[in-house]
Amino acid sequence: MKRRQFLQSTAAVFPLSWLERAGWAGMMGDSAPSAHVVPAEQDRLGEHHSLGFSSIAFKVLPRETAGGLFLIEHTHLLKAGPPLHLHHAQEEYFYVMEGRALFQVGEQRVELKSGDSVLGPRGVPHTFVPVGEKPARMLIAFTPAGQMEDFFREQEKLGVPFQDPADFARFGMKWVGPPLKAS
């Protein structure tokens, strides 16, 4: 069977709505997903989120990528960060856009400045804390998205970062230790 015949046969088996939810609609026809622009420090849905030590804006939602990506922008990040933790099923990628931040990934500690990035691989403990006088601003990506959007929404309800290991476990993570201290 030729590739084109195979794709046409497969498309006939699955309803288009299923293909759209799975993120394959653009591959099956001429329609491409529409682009969306989210301005700096703005949220995809126009919402406001705070973790107690920073503001976050949801940039790319899991439902827009069939669960493949969740992207947030941390702003006004000054003097505090999340506890040392690990993800069982996600990589977490950090890109520093402004300011500086001290990261711990595994046993390694490294200070990043604007334009630097680091990956927190799944299963490896990681955390960060902003350093210096200027607030840090970062993009953070989770792939696959997992339950990260729900984690941030639940944490926001409390107004402070989760510290109970059971809270991390509910969202597919493990609490490993306290946050880093800014020096």
| pLDDT at residue 19 tops 90 | no
Indicate whether 24 belongs to any domain. yes
Identify the domain containing residue 95 by its residue range: 49-177
CATH of the domain at 119: 2.60.120.10
Mean pLDDT of 88-110: 96
Lowest-pLDDT range of 76-80, 139-143, 157-161: 157-161
Whether residues 63 and 125 share a domain: the answer is yes
Give the pLDDT confidence of 40-59 residue by residue, as tens digits. Answer: 888 888 888 887 778 889 99
pLDDT in tens, 29-40: 445 667 888 888
Residue 11: what pLDDT?
Answer: 44
How confident is the model at residue 77, as a pLDDT?
76
In a domain, 125, yes or no: yes
Look at residue 44 and tell me if it is in a domain: no
Indicate whether 42 belongs to any domain.
Answer: no
Residue 121 and residue 67 share a domain:
yes
State mean pLDDT over 9-19: 41
Tokens at residue 148, please? 């990260």
State the pLDDT at residue 100: 95
For residue 42, the model assigns a pLDDT of 83
In a domain, 41, yes or no: no
Q: How many domains does the chain have?
A: 2
Query: Is there a single domain that holds both residue 144 and residue 103?
Result: yes
75 and 154 share a domain?
yes
In a domain, 43, yes or no: no
- Give dist(CA 114, CA 100) in Å, integer: 6
Q: What angle is formed at CA 144 by the lines to CA 139 and CA 178, rounded to 5 degrees?
A: 60
Whether residues 17 and 72 fall in one domain:
no
Reply yes or no: is the peptide bond before residue 144 cis, omega within 30 of 0.
yes
Tell whether 182 is covered by a domain.
no
Q: Are 6 and 76 within one domain?
A: no
Q: Which tokens belong to 73?
A: 């922008």
Instruction: Give the lowest-confidence range in 137-141, 146-150, 158-162.
Output: 158-162
d(CA 102, CA 164): 23
Rounded Cα distance between 95 and 138, Å, is 5
Residue 148, in any domain of the structure: yes
Same domain, 73 and 123: yes
- The owner of tokens 């109970």 is 164
**pLDDT tens per residue, range 149-175:** 999 898 888 766 677 889 899 999 999
- Longest CA–CA span in the chain (Å) reads 64
